[in-house]
Structures are given as structure tokens and as C-alpha cells.
Amino acid sequence: MKRIAIITVAGISSRFNKGIDEKDKVLKCLYSEGDEKATLLYHMIKKLKYADHIIVVGGYKFEDLKNYVDSSIPSELRSKLRLIYNEHFEDLSSGYSLYLGLKTVFEEFDEAGDVLFAEGDLDIDAPSMDAVIANSTSVLTYNLEPIKANKAVVLYVGADGHYHYAFDSSHGLLSIPSQFSAIYNSGQVWKFNDMKALKAASEAFIEKNRDGTNLFIIQEYLNNIPIGDVSVLPLKCWVNCNTREDYRLISSRWENEDS
């Protein structure tokens, strides 16, 4: 059985490029300050090298993404990559990128045994990612940062005993529509090991909510698998890179890891 990873990097990086001249705007996952390998994408691909196939779904500055892969990703990793273009990167939400990645899985890799999905603007410590990869169940993740409504995606266990997500795309105030027994700051990395349930969730998305976020697909998946088939794992070192200051924090950690 093949192991597949999906990375989504289609967004326009509006916060990352805020106040930057148009000619200097970049695809966030490719940004560096000198070393062409000091990018979010390069480090994420390295952490996912276990996979037989790595699907990268892009949109904004897609030609830059292709050029970077051709010029800067080592051949042994590049041979695993499949780039997918999301033509709706401006008018649809994050769910469509995940849908396109899953569509590729089900059309081209029907022997998939599990699928790991990571958003492409994250930096995560290697031991935490390795724990997700090694786990034999479906995996939800959480980070150790405080939950702040302007940036967090909330994962909680509702009164029904099942896992649910809450997120405000306008980065305003969060609301949880039920009582809960546990609450986490989502780590935005997931692993799915029930391909039938994952395909059904993907089909439900395109039929019912194609302009929704990736959380729609994930929630549909969780609604259709036994709760005992899910593990919730911490990501000990986790940064969601929204600004260039975030990038500098991340890159300083890379330097320490390499020293």
C-alpha cells in the first residue's frame, strides 16, 4: 500500500505580503532570505520524505512554485512530487485545494494506505511529525500555543463525545456551539487511514460545500469513522507562518537544528 502526503500552498499570502510592493510579493512557502533551501516548502518536503508520493497543490505564483521545485528540490525528493494547479485559488476557500489533492489520490493512487495532509505555511519539529507518521490510526494534531480567536483553529470534544472544529475565517471572535469536555489549538496536520471514509468526505464536499474550508472535508471524515480509530497528538514546536517576522523565528530554529 502506498503512503501519500498532501501539502497545500495555493493561497495568496496576503498577510505575509502586506505592505510589500507588487513586484516583491512572493509565495510564502518559497520565501527565503538568502539560502534557497531555507524555505517552508523545502523543510516540509524533507519531513515528509517517508511518503511514496507527495502532492503539492498550488495556485498563486504557480510558475514560481514549479521553477523552485525544478531548481532547488533534490532529485530524490523531486521524483516523489506531483504539482497540482488550483485555478480557484482566489475565489474558493482552502477546501478546494485539499479536494484537488484527494481527487489526485483517488484517481491515480488507488492503492493508497494512508494520506497525511499538512498546510504549507507551517513549521513543525521533526520528532512530532515522525510521531504522526508512525501512528497506525487516523491522527488529529494540536499545538501548545494559547488559543487566540484571530489565528487559532479550535479542536474540541463535544457533548456527543466526538471531535469537532471551530474557526472564524474573518479572524474575529470564535464561538463553540456546544458544551465540550476537551479543547485544543489545532496543529493543522492530519493523517487519514480509512480511504473509503476519506473518499466519501471528499465527494460530500464537492457536492454540498465546494466553497468551504478544508475543515468541511475533515469533519465529514471524522463523522464517519469510529472515535476509537482516532489519535490526538501534540506538535511540540509549531509555528504558523503568517508574517516575515514569523519566518525569521522559524529560520533561526533551522539554524540551531543544523548547527
Q: What's the confidence (pLDDT) of residue 239?
A: 96
Q: Is the pLDDT of residue 126 over 60?
A: yes
Report the predicted TM-score, pTM, of the whole model to 2 decimal places: 0.96
In contact, 27 and 75? CB cutoff 8 Å: no
Q: What is the CATH number of the domain that holds 29?
A: 3.90.550.10
Q: What's the confidence (pLDDT) of residue 231?
A: 98
| 152 domain-assigned | no
Q: Is the pLDDT of residue 157 over 60?
A: yes
Share of the chain above pLDDT 90, in %: 88
Share of the chain above pLDDT 70, in %: 99
| 174 domain-assigned | no
| 127 domain-assigned | yes
| 90 domain-assigned | yes
| 155 domain-assigned | no
Q: What's the confidence (pLDDT) of residue 171?
A: 66
Q: Is the pLDDT of residue 259 over 60?
A: no
> For 46-67, how does the pLDDT look when each residue is reduced to its tens digit (9 = 90+)?
999 999 999 999 999 999 999 9
Question: What is the average pLDDT across 149-156?
Answer: 91
| 157 domain-assigned | no
The whole domain housing 33 covers 2-138+187-230+241-258
Q: How many domains does the chain have?
A: 1
